[in-house]
A and B are shown apart, each in its own frame.
Chain A
């Protein structure tokens, strides 16, 4: 079983739609959680950290459920520019190196 699992998609949605991505992680000791965005043939860029209380950044909302070891990302009012691959990332608390463990990513395509 992979340490971080995501539905690879692709998710094809119209502009203005709301779309949700889910991610599960296997290591209950995981401590830090992130969503990264990766555009085609580009490097990953930090989209947002994910906190237990949930957090929002504009149209993006991230949630963490530690009991279920589940992380989500909600994108409201999708824009064409949101088309990208979204990577779920964790760091284990047992790691003193800060090593990021990546999911394989979920591809989003927003259509006009």
Chain B
């Protein structure tokens, strides 16, 4: 597609439920990143994919968080047993690996609210 697409744009879930967030990167972009932005906070790195593998998952806050990427394209971030502190905007970005030094394109994010 023309840009990075994320779905859903908004998600309200009950505490304890599992959620899946989807990211569809720009076609041909091999690098994919997930970030999280809590209210009034900066962006926090979660995980990096190169192709289908995740060489850096150091930002995942707990084992309730997992992510996968298939076909070198779509990525899914899963949060199990959601907690209220998981409420945030989850942003996905993609880049052609060799051009990352020129910045990335972000999707418009998924706003997750845990009630």
Residues of A within 8 A of B (CB): 31-32, 34, 36, 42-46, 49, 87, 89, 91, 97-105
Query: Which residues of A are found within 8 Å of B101, using beta-carbon distances?
Result: 31-32, 49, 91, 98
Q: Cβ of A97 and Cβ of B56 under 8 Å apart? A: yes
Count residues of chain B with CB under 8 A from any CB of chain A: 26
Within the complex, which residue of B45, B95, B100 is in contact with A101, where a contact is CB–CB below 8 Å?
Answer: B45
Q: Cβ of B43 and Cβ of A99 under 8 Å apart? A: no
Q: Cβ of A43 and Cβ of B50 under 8 Å apart? A: no
Q: Cβ of B33 and Cβ of A99 under 8 Å apart? A: yes
Q: How many A-B residue pairs have CB under 8 A?
A: 58
Query: Which residues of B are found within 8 Å of A103, using beta-carbon distances?
Result: 42
Query: Which residues of B are found within 8 Å of A104, using beta-carbon distances?
Result: 41-42
Q: Main SS of chain A's interface residues?
A: strand
**Cα–Cα distance between A99 and B31 once the two chains are bound (Å):** 10
Identify 13 new A-B residue pairs, CB closer than 8 A, beyond the known A44-B43, A97-B55, A98-B95: A32-B101, A43-B107, A43-B109, A46-B105, A97-B50, A98-B48, A98-B100, A100-B35, A100-B45, A100-B93, A100-B104, A102-B42, A102-B44
Q: Main SS of chain B's interface residues?
A: strand
Query: Which residues of A are found within 8 Å of B41, using beta-carbon distances?
Result: 104
Q: Cβ of A99 and Cβ of B56 under 8 Å apart? A: yes
Of the listed residues A45, A46, A99, the one surrounded by the most CB atoms of chain B closer than 10 A to its CB is A99
